[in-house]
């Protein structure tokens, strides 16, 4: 039975209308996606321009000595970034030393050893811990961790390790409780949920056949994790660690509560210090517009961004070498 010309015309019209709507929707989606990508680049460029242009006066006034100087004297307008850079790097390193093994252990236990009901409860608790505001961690650290460090950890460490050649430099000083070590511990507690969540999701997503094959060959749980799971999930695990590193580098309020906020450079982990973020938070409200102090703070912000970029670049190089091997 042949279709009438009117039926064929109506069907072709519907098809053309559908194709037109599909083409228009694809065009709109493509434009919005491109705009989103360019918007991210514009925001990044705007941040860099503001920090570099605002801090250029400090870079011009002090030159390379701004990075190596430990001075911070608003009265004489003499500023340096060495102390805060040192505090930022040391507290972040301490946080990673404690957080990465702990997060790995929690993730391994949740995926391989914990009962399913308990694992779901602990995983929810970890995610909730990641949502706690940083100022809460700072207040908790000030009222709980600082007294504990002052009364128990620091006196014992000073007594037993303070006289060890070489190592003793790290464990000397009055047991105030505040300092680089305390700041690093608070950061470790803060970044552990982020790293643990990423590791847990990655470990769960590994194809079961890979682990079952290793178990079938007689491998233990640790051997499966070391030789199968970690190589397979190296990139994602490193991404989680970098996420925690970025959080530790830029953390402000929690560190400000417990680090001591002293612009002195020393090797002792018990000595008070500061970080770039904590120094900016404390000094920014007292900096007048157009002052050299404000320019120095913006220069510190630019240095912090550079440190973050270098950290990301090093992680990418590490991943590329790991994949090539």
Q: What's the sign of the alpha-carbon dihedral 154, 159, 163, 164?
A: negative
Does residue 255 come out as left (phi exceeding 0), alpha (psi in the -120 to 50 range) or beta? alpha
Q: How far, in Å, CA of 221 to CA of 46, rounded?
A: 49
Nearest to 58 by CA among 306, 296, 313: 296
Average pLDDT over residues 60-65: 88
Supply the pLDDT for residue 1.
Answer: 47
Q: What is the b/e burial string over 54-85, where b = at least 16 CB atoms within 10 angstroms of the residue's CB? A: bbebbbebbeeebeebeebeeeeeebbbbbbb
Q: pLDDT value at position 5?
A: 52
Grouping H, G, I as helix, E, B as strand and the rest as coil, residue 209 is helix
The domains found in the chain, sorted by start residue, are 66-324 (1.10.3720.10)
Contact 73, 318 (CB under 8 A): no
CA angle 159, 160, 161 (to 5 degrees): 105
- Higher per-residue pLDDT: 300 or 174: 300
Q: What is the mean pLDDT of residues 164-177?
A: 83
Token pair listed for 276: 């770039």
Considering only residues 10 and 300, tell me which one the structure prediction assigns the higher pLDDT: 300
Tokens read off for 244: 């925690």
Question: Distance between CA atoms of 268 and 162, rounded to whole angstroms?
Answer: 10
Question: Of 242, 212, 243, whose CA–CA distance to 228 is shortest?
Answer: 212
Of the two residues 138 and 323, the one the predictor is more confident about is: 138
Residue pLDDT, tens place only, 209-223: 888 888 888 888 888
Residue 72's H or E segment, with its range, is strand 72-73
User: Which backbone phi and psi does 239 adopt, to 5 degrees?
Assistant: -60, -40
Is the pLDDT at 4 greater than 60, yes or no? Answer: no
Per-residue pLDDT tens digits for 11-47: 555 455 555 666 677 788 888 889 998 999 999 999 9
């Amino acid at each position: 039975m042949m279709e009438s010309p009117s039926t064929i015309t109506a069907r072709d019209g519907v098809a053309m209308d559908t194709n037109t709507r599909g083409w228009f929707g694809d065009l709109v989606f493509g434009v919005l996606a491109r705009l989103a990508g360019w918007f991210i680049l514009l925001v990044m460029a705007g941040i860099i321009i503001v920090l570099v242009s605002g801090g250029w006066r400090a870079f011009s006034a002090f030159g390379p000595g701004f990075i190596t100087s430990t001075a911070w004297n608003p009265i004489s307008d003499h500023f340096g970034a060495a102390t805060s850079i040192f505090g930022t790097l040391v507290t972040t390193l301490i946080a990673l030393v404690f957080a990465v093994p702990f997060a790995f252990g929690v993730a391994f236990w949740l995926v391989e050893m914990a009962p399913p009901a308990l694992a779901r409860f602990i995983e929810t608790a970890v995610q909730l811990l990641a949502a706690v505001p940083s100022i809460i961690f700072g207040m908790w650290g000030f009222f709980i961790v600082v007294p504990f460090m002052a009364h128990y950890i620091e006196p014992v460490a000073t007594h037993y390790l303070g006289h060890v050649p070489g190592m003793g430099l790290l464990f000397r000083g009055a047991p105030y409780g505040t300092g680089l070590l305390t700041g690093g511990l608070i950061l470790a507690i803060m970044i552990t949920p982020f790293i643990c969540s990423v590791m847990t999701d990655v470990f769960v997503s590994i194809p079961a056949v890979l682990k079952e094959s290793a178990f079938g060959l007689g491998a233990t749980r640790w051997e499966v994790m070391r030789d199968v799971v970690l190589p397979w999930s190296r990139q994602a695990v490193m991404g989680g660690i970098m996420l925690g590193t970025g959080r530790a580098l830029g953390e402000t309020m929690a560190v400000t509560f417990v680090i001591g906020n002293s612009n002195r450079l020393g090797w002792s982990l018990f000595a008070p210090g500061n970080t770039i973020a904590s120094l900016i938070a404390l000094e920014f409200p007292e900096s007048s517009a157009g002052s050299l102090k404000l320019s120095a703070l913006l220069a510190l912000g630019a240095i912090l961004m550079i440190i973050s970029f270098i950290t990301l670049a090093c992680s990418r190089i590490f991943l590329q070498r790991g994949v090539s091997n």
